């Protein structure tokens, strides 16, 4: 398995534009997480899904952020409109059920720069 796959790896956009980040979890994993990493706040959980259903979105900063998981192999995180303070590295992670359900497997991240 190639692990969690995120695209794009880097995204540079202008303020006000829509940004869509994509994630393909590890096949068979029931949980999917979106995190944001910044120097000041470290790693913050934005939202997580279980079996494609959003369970906890309390970390989503504001209505400009939305996430979907239309099927077990794909999720998107959308920012519309984007702002310079959204610049960060966004990670997707997935986790299996069962005995190892608490171990998270991370993607390589998407580095977002909003100018």
Partner 1 sequence: AQRVTQPEKLLSVFKGAPVELKCNYSYSGSPELFWYVQYSRQRLQLLLRHISRESIKGFTADLNKGETSFHLKKPFAQEEDSAMYYCALRPYSGGYQKVTFGTGTKLQVIP
Q: Which residues bind partner 1 (CB under 8 A)?
A: 3-4, 31, 35, 41-45, 48, 50, 55-56, 91, 93, 101-109
Q: How far is the CB of 34 from partner 1 (least distance, A)?
A: 12
Give the three-class secondary structure for 48: strand
Chain-centre distance for alpha carbon 80: 15
Least distance (Å) between residue 42 CB and partner 1:
3
- Taking the complex as a whole, how short is the minimal distance between the CB of residue 89 and partner 1, in angstroms? 10
CB nearer partner 1, residue 65 or residue 91: 91
Pick 70 or 98: Cβ nearer partner 1: 98
CA-to-CA dists, residue 48 to 12, 33, 68, 83, angstroms: 25, 4, 10, 23
Pick between residue 13 and residue 87 the one whose CB is nearest to partner 1: 87
Backbone angles phi, psi at 100, to 5 degrees: -110, 25
Whole-number minimum distance, CB 45 to partner 1, in Å? Answer: 6
What count of Cα atoms within 13 Å lies in the side-chain half-sphere of residue 50? 5
What pairs with residue 98 in β-bridges?
none
Rg (CA), the chain: 13
Tell me whether residue 86 or residue 107 sits nearer to partner 1 (CB atom): 107
């Amino acid at each position: 398995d190639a692990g969690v796959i995120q695209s794009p790896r880097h995204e540079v956009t202008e303020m006000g534009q829509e940004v869509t980040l994509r994630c393909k979890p590890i096949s068979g994993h029931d949980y999917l997480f979106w995190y944001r990493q910044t120097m000041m706040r470290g790693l913050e959980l934005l939202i997580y899904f279980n079996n494609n259903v959003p369970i906890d979105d309390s970390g989503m900063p504001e209505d400009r952020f939305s996430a979907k998981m239309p099927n077990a192999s794909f999720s998107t995180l959308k920012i519309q409109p984007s702002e310079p303070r959204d610049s960060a590295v966004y990670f997707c992670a997935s986790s299996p059920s069962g005995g190892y359900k608490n171990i998270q497997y991370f993607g390589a991240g998407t580095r977002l720069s909003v100018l």
